[in-house]
Each structure stands twice: as C-alpha cells, then as structure tokens.
Amino acid sequence: LLANRTVAEHIGRQNKTFVYRVHDEPDDEKLMQFNSFISRFGYRIDMRSRKTVNSSLNTLLEEVRGKKEQNLIDMLAIRSMSKAVYTTHNIGHYGLAFEYYTHFTSPIRRYPDIMAHRLLQHYLDGGAPVKDDPLEAQCKHASDMENLAVNAERDSVKYMQIKFMEDHNEQAFTGVVSGVTEWGIYVEIVENKCEGMVRIRDIRDDYYIFDEKQYALVGQVTKNSYQLGDEVVVRVKHTDLVKRHLDFELLGKKEEMEH
C-alpha cells in the first residue's frame, strides 16, 4: 500500500497525467438502506459524517466476525460501496482513506501496473506529460476487463458450488436469507456459502407477495414473512450446471423447526 500511495503521490503532486486507482464515496441512499438492514441484527452505522461512517463501518465488520450473519453483512457492505476503477482523473481512494493511490506493485499480473511503471520511468527520465485521452481509454478498458474477470470468477465458483450440491440433494441445510425479490428468496447455506433460490411459487403454505420496503415476502393469510437475515432450513430441489441455477426447497424457519 505504501509503495502504491508513494508513487501516485509523487506524480500526482506534479500535476502530470497518471493512472490512478480511485474509489468514490458511497452513495448515501445505499448506506441508509444498509443501515436499515443491519439494525435488525442490533448494529448501526453512524451517518453524521464521512469520518463517523468510516469508523463505525470498521467497528461493524469487527463485531460481526465469526457470527452467522458475517458473510451476509460483509457482502451487503461491499454492495453499498462504490466500485474502485482505473482512471487518469484522481479523486482519491475512499476505502483506504488515501488522497493518492495507484496499482504499482504487481506488473506481472495487472496491466495498469505496467502502465504506472512506464509512466513513472518516463517522468523520471524527464519526459513531458502525456495526453489524457489515450491513457483514459486504456484505463476504461482495464476496468472493463477487471469486471469481466470478476464475473468469470463468480460464475466458476457458482458452477463448482452447484456441482457440489448435486451430491447432497437429500441433506437438509441451515441457511440465511441473503436476498428477497418478487419471484422468491435467495438462501446462502451457512456451512459452505452455497447460494440458491427458493421460488415464491414453491412456498405453498400461503400466498406470498414481495414487500419492497421490508425486503420481505409476506403471507397474505398467515402474515408469516421471510426477510433478509432470517435463518431457514432448505434442501436441494433442482440443479442446472449449464444455466448455473440452484433451486432449494424451503423446509421452514430454523427456530420453528427446533421447537
């Protein structure tokens, strides 16, 4: 981190064109939604200022470590943040609280690091500032390729999760509701982090509708609900490796099945 920051600051203070790794401030609305969700677990973020947000976020991530809701809260915390990108327009790095930051230390595996090395050497040799536009186009391409790589990694993990679950289709698993939509709930299994879908049409004890404000499915007769963070018990219903679909059968809420 120190090398990355030092190189970026050295060139940035000279007002010369350079490749930065920037991370914008989080969107207030996303933070408020995240704060509303974690309040169900007894946590909160102090929204009074950017400094208190940073401090309380760090405290939150420490407090949830090792708890059943850790993976869900970690995931939603990341989703509430802006995405880091490569650009020639420096706005700082919010997540690291750095005014200047670049990727410099891994030229054997990241092309933006090569760009940073070449620019640094160019300026150390007394070269004139380079034009923004061609470099900005390369930065955008690097950011786009990073997104593709992240998606490919996510897809490969999902594929192997489904392949694993195919061999455990008779087993009941405890999971946490990790997403709620108008077509069903996503459940992440606690012990192995595999995530699948319980389709709303397969929850047959009531007629459920999606309550967007509560992030919940609510039964119209029983008023039973399934919302983010609920612990449930599921079993594999259907797998499709080609489409990377994993469907669960909902056996019930964990607390109800324990009584």
Question: In the chain, which ranges are continuous DSSP H helix?
Answer: 2-12, 28-38, 50-63, 70-80, 111-124, 132-166, 254-257
pLDDT of residue 69: 80
Distance (Å, whole) CA 62 – CA 120: 37
The residue among 33 and 156 whose pLDDT is bigger is 156
134 φ, ψ to 5°?
-60, -40
Parse the chain into domains and list their residue ranges: 2-157, 169-257
Alpha carbon of residue 149 to chain centroid: 15
Task: Please list, residue by residue across 184-202, b when 16 or more beta carbons sit within 10 angstroms of its beta carbon and e when fewer do.
Answer: bbbbbbbeeebbbbbbbee
User: What does the pLDDT average to over 53-82?
Assistant: 87
pLDDT tier for residue 50 given thresholds of 50, 70 and 90: confident
User: What does the pLDDT average to over 148-159?
Assistant: 95
pLDDT of residue 130: 95
Q: Are 30 and 80 in contact (CB under 8 A)?
A: yes
pLDDT of residue 122: 98
pLDDT of residue 125: 97
User: What does the pLDDT average to over 70-82?
Assistant: 86
pLDDT tier for residue 14 given thresholds of 50, 70 and 90: very high
Q: Are 18 and 79 in contact (CB under 8 A)?
A: no
pLDDT of residue 165: 95
How buried is 162 (Cβ within 10 angstroms: 0-12 exposed, 13-18 middle, 19+ buried)?
A: buried
pLDDT tier for residue 202 given thresholds of 50, 70 and 90: very high
pTM > 0.85: no
| pLDDT digit string, tens, across residues 235-258 | 999 999 999 999 999 999 988 877
The whole-chain average pLDDT of the chain stands at 92
- At 246 the three-state DSSP class reads strand
User: What does the pLDDT average to over 163-184?
Assistant: 92
List Cα–Cα distances, 250 to 76, 109, 196, 204, 241, in angstroms. 23, 43, 11, 10, 21
List Cα–Cα distances, 220 to 92, 202, 208, 255, in angstroms. 49, 15, 6, 21
pLDDT of residue 108: 84
User: What does the pLDDT average to over 177-193?
Assistant: 92
- DSSP, residue by residue, 10-28: HHHTTT----EEEBPPPPH
Q: Are 213 and 206 in contact (CB under 8 A)?
A: no
Residues in the chain: 259
Distance (Å, whole) CA 19 – CA 250: 49
User: What does the pLDDT average to over 104-109?
Assistant: 90
pLDDT tier for residue 259 given thresholds of 50, 70 and 90: low
pLDDT tier for residue 27 given thresholds of 50, 70 and 90: confident
Q: Is the dihedral of CA 35, 36, 37, 39 positive or negative?
A: positive
pLDDT of residue 117: 97
**169-257: what fold?**
OB fold (Dihydrolipoamide Acetyltransferase, E2P) (2.40.50)
